[in-house]
Structure 1
Amino acid sequence: MKEMKQDRKTRYTRMVLQDSLIELMKIKPINKITIKELCENADINRTTFYAHYTDPYDLLRKIENEALSWAKESLATLIKTGRHEALQVLEEVFQYFVENSNHLQVLMSEQGDIHFQRQLITLIYQECGINPSAEPNGNMDTKEFYFIFIVTGSVGLIQHWLKHDLNKSAKEMAEIIYTMASQWFPE
């Protein structure tokens, strides 16, 4: 029973530290965030912070890694589905964005780590079997160009959606992306 209580306390501590970092990143870049203000904002002492993370960058990397892990699982599900189920899976993806918008708004914004955003795009390419930098001689298939256009355009659209406080529902965004992608890759 004590172990379960400890695990719950650890999860809570990590959650408030993550929320604190994201909150602070909304108003200043990570290189201006001190551990002291991070801990004060989270109402956690420095010793507790150091029990979980080495610095704010370590905390940010853990947040990003969780998001990338989720993205990889979602892509695997999306790739396995047939065309008819793809819209439903996309809607679930956008619902995840809604439920985690506080973190994702920062991660996908100008305040976020551009390296994370590049990792996300690279992950999408890799999971879908596309390597846009593989052929320097220009022998890339036209279909791959379409795919790259759809991925980068979709990421840009998601960034815009998050920046404008989710002004469309998850279902609407899934339908927009699905419709745009379907035009380039008809059945």
Structure 2
Amino acid sequence: MSRNERSPLPIGLTEQRRNDKQRRKPDLRIRRTRSLLSNALVALMQEKSIDKITVQEVLDRATVGRSTFYLHYRDKDDLFLSVLEDGLEMWSTALVRKQEKSYRVAPVAEFFMHVGDAKKLYRALVDSGRIHAFFELAQGYFARGIARRLKDMGLKNLVQSELDARSHALAGNLLSLLKWWLDRGARESPKAMDELFHRMAWNGLQSKSKLR
């Protein structure tokens, strides 16, 4: 398969890929190049289907050379996956990084606001058939972020297997709520959706556990 041929979008993350991302510490020039390419792809996706976007169009929009592109990414789908990963890593760990002192297990209001402002991108994911891959990827990221958050909040009496299961379920509920919200026109405010999610989340958590 040539570099310009479309390859299937990988679903989920392998342990090796996560480890590779953690080991990489790109300098400012590399980060700038990746940012230019990511922003170019996102902008183009709001204009046309990702399947119709070529690597050359990304390069022209980003003003980056072809050889430079292939130093960082295998193909367009690799760049697309990187865009999703970077965003999900940021949102799923936001409360842990901020060490927020609240009852929230996930930054629902902020995440919904961000996605709501990018409705064209969401529609592009739906139209390209990649929305399911996005939700599967997102569920893994948010499950890990929620598990870390619950530990930080003092839920110590859950065995690891139950913590993992509950975190995975909460992440799935979050994304189902996001889809429901977007599909009906995002009528409610992100803050209202945050409150709704956490009422449902804590109704389940408090039936089994309590904060320290």
Classify the TM-score, shorter chain: 0.5 to 0.7
- SS across alignment from 2:93: helix
- Superposed CA deviations along residues 80-115 of structure 1, whole A, max 9, x for unmatched, are 7553xx28954344445456x368636864633644
**Paired letter, 1:182:** W
CA RMSD of aligned residues (A): 4.4
Note if 1:53 corresponds to 2:73: yes
After superposition, the Cα gap between the structure-2 partners of 1:21 and 1:161, relative to the gap in structure 1 and judged at 3 Å, is farther
**Paired letter, 2:122:** Q
Note the 1:54-133 alignment, pairs <5 A. Answer: 54-74=74-94, 76=96, 81-83=101-103, 86=104, 89-97=107-115, 101=118, 105=122, 109=126, 111=128, 112=130, 114-128=132-146
Q: 1:157 aligns with which of 166, 169, 177?
A: 177
Q: Which runs of 5+ in 2 are unaligned?
A: 1-26, 148-160
Alignment partners' CA distance in 2, 1:10 and 1:53: 13
Q: 1:121·1:151 contact (CA, 8 Å) conserved in 2?
A: yes
The equivalent residue for 1:169 is 189
TM-score normalised by L of structure 1:
0.59
Q: Which runs of 5+ in 1 are unaligned?
A: 1-5, 130-139
Q: 2:37·2:62 contact (CA, 8 Å) conserved in 1?
A: yes
**Paired letter, 1:120:** A
The equivalent residue for 2:49 is 28
Alignment partners' CA distance in 1, 2:107 and 2:134: 23
Q: CA deviation at 1:157?
A: 1.7
TM-score normalised by L of structure 2:
0.54
Q: 1:25·1:106 contact (CA, 8 Å) conserved in 2?
A: no
Alignment partners' CA distance in 1, 2:145 and 2:56: 40
Q: CA deviation at 1:73?
A: 1.8
**Paired letter, 1:105:** Y
Q: 2:73·2:79 contact (CA, 8 Å) conserved in 1?
A: yes
Greater shift in the superposed pair: 59-68 or 33-42: 33-42
The equivalent residue for 2:39 is 19
Taking only the aligned residue pairs, the percentage that are identical comes to: 22
Q: CA deviation at 1:59?
A: 1.2
Alignment partners' CA distance in 1, 2:166 and 2:73: 41
Q: CA deviation at 1:155?
A: 0.4
- SS across alignment from 2:188: coil
**How many residues are treated as equivalent by the alignment?**
167
- Superposed CA deviations along residues 19-68 of structure 1, whole A, max 9, x for unmatched, are 332344453244x4321233344455545544553421221122122123
Q: 2:49·2:124 contact (CA, 8 Å) conserved in 1?
A: no
